[in-house]
Amino acid sequence: MKGNSIMKPVVLLAAVAALGIIACGDDGGPQAVQKKIDVVGAFPQLSFDRPVDLQNAGDGSNRLFVVEQAGRILVFENDPATTETAVFLDIRDRVSDAGNEEGLLGLAFHHQYENSGYFYVYYSVSDPRRTRLSRFSVTALDSNAADPASETILLEVDQPYANHKGGQIAFGPDAYLYIALGDGGSGGDPQGNGQNRATLLGKILRIDVDRTPYGIPPDNPFAGNTSGYREEIYAYGLRNPWRFSFDPVTGWLWAADVGQNSYEEIDIIEKGKNYGWNIMEGMHCYDADVCQTGGLALPVWEYSHKEGQSVTGGFVYRGAKLPELSGKYVYADFVSGKIWALRYDGLGPPANELLIDTGLNISSLGVDEDNEIYICAFDDRIHALSQVKASR
C-alpha cells in the first residue's frame, strides 16, 4: 500500500519475548508459547472496498466511519451485530485512485464537531496530479449524511509521482490540524523533498483551520521565517509517513515512516525536528557508507525487511478490553501482516513484542470512542484485537 553510519546496523529483537508467539529457551533456540492475542472479525456482516482509514466523530454517537480508497466514507453503528452501513460521503467523481497509493486517504472530524458539523478529508486529484485537503459539512437533517456540495478546498500540493502521498490527518490536543505528506515518490527522493523546507512534501504540517482558509500557528517552527521555508511545516525529513496518532495520555505524536530498501521506522514526532530522510533510512545511512547525522532525530524503533516491508502506523492502546497492551504502541505491516506492540516511555530502552502474524494486508488501524483498536485490511473487512479464550 505504501510501496548507512552510523556504521553498524541496529539488531532488532522484534520477536523476543513476543506476546505469546515466540520465546527463547535456555539454549537460545525458539520455544513456542501460548498465543494471547488474536484478530477477529469486528463486524462480520459488513464489507468494504479497500478500506484505508477508520475514525470516530468523538460526538458520543457510538458510530464508526470507514474510508474507502476509491472515494467513499461509510458510517455505521459500532455494534458487532450491525448489518447496514450508510454512505456518509461519496466524492468518487473528484478522487483519483489510479495509483495504488492514491485515492481518498484521510479523514478527521473537527475538534468541536458536535457544534461545527465540519470534517476534513485528504485525497488525490488528477490533471494535474496533486493532493487536496478539503473541509465538508454534515447535512442539517441527517447526521449520517454529509453534503458533497459543501466542499471548501483549504490546500493543494502538486505531486510529481503516483506514490508516497502520506494521507493521515488528525487534530492534536492543541486543536490544530496535523497533515502527513510523503516525499512525492519515485524511490529515493530524487528531488530531495524530505530535506527541502521550501516544499511541503516529506513533512508533517500543522495548521489552524479555525481561521480562513487556514492560519499558521504562531509557534510553528518556521512561522515568520525569511528563508523561504513553508510556515505550515511542523517536522520534516520523512519519506512516507503512513499513519500517525496522538497518545491521549502523554500527548506524544507517534508516526510510522515507510522505508525504502531495508528498514521501516517508528518515530515520535517533535516540533521542528529533522527525521533524516533521505540522508538516513531508519538508523542507517541511506545510499552511502558514512553520512552526517548531526542534528537528525533517530527513530524510536526500526525493523528490517526480513520482518515486513511497509509499516502501518497505529495507536498507543488506552482501551479497557486488553489491559496487557495498556500504554503500548500497537502497529502493523501491510506486506507481512504482522502486528506488534512497542513499549517506550522515553526513559528506558524500547521493547517490542510480536502480537500476531495475521497474513492480512493491513492498510490502517483506528480507534472507537472507547479507544479500542480496529484493523482495516484489504480482505475488505474490519477486524479487532481480542484475547485468546483459554481452552478447556
What CATH number has the domain bearing residue 170? 2.120.10.30
Tell me the residue type at 237.
G
Pull the grid cell for residue 319: 482501551
Q: Per-residue DSSP letters for 290-306? A: S---TTBPPPSEEEETT
Quickly state the pLDDT bin for 391 (edges 50, 70, 90).
low
Comparing C-alpha atoms, which of 199, 207, 191 is closest to residue 228? 199
The percent of residues above 70 in pLDDT, for the chain, comes to 90
List beta partners, residue 147. Answer: 137
What is the residue range of 297's domain? 22-387
293-332 in b/e burial notation, b at 16+ Cβ within 10 A?
Answer: beebbbbbbbbbbebbbbbbbbbbbbbeebeebeebbbbb
pTM assigned to the model: 0.91
Q: What's the pLDDT score for residue 35?
A: 67
The alpha-helical segments, DSSP class H, found in the chain are 113-116
Task: State how far the Cα of 329 lies from the Cα of 151, in Å rounded to an integer.
Answer: 34
Q: What's the pLDDT score for residue 5?
A: 33
Instruction: Judge whether 305 lies within some domain.
Output: yes
C-alpha torsion sign, points 44, 45, 49, 51: negative
Instruction: Judge whether 250 lies within some domain.
Output: yes
Check residues 173 and 20 and name the one with the higher pLDDT: 173
DSSP conformation class of 195: G
Instruction: Judge whether 152 lies within some domain.
Output: yes
Instruction: Judge whether 120 lies within some domain.
Output: yes
The percent of residues above 90 in pLDDT, for the chain, comes to 88
**Is the Cβ–Cβ distance between 29 and 314 less than 8 Å?**
no
Instruction: Judge whether 16 lies within some domain.
Output: no
Instruction: Judge whether 351 lies within some domain.
Output: yes
- Total domains in the fold of the chain: 1
DSSP conformation class of 55: E
Place of cell 518556521: 222
Q: What's the pLDDT score for residue 15?
A: 33
pLDDT tens string 317-363: 999 999 999 999 999 999 999 999 999 999 999 999 999 999 999 99
Tell me the residue type at 3.
G
Instruction: Judge whether 315 lies within some domain.
Output: yes
Instruction: Judge whether 151 lies within some domain.
Output: yes
Quickly state the pLDDT bin for 3 (edges 50, 70, 90).
low
Task: State how far the Cα of 228 lies from the Cα of 109, in Å rounded to an integer.
Answer: 31
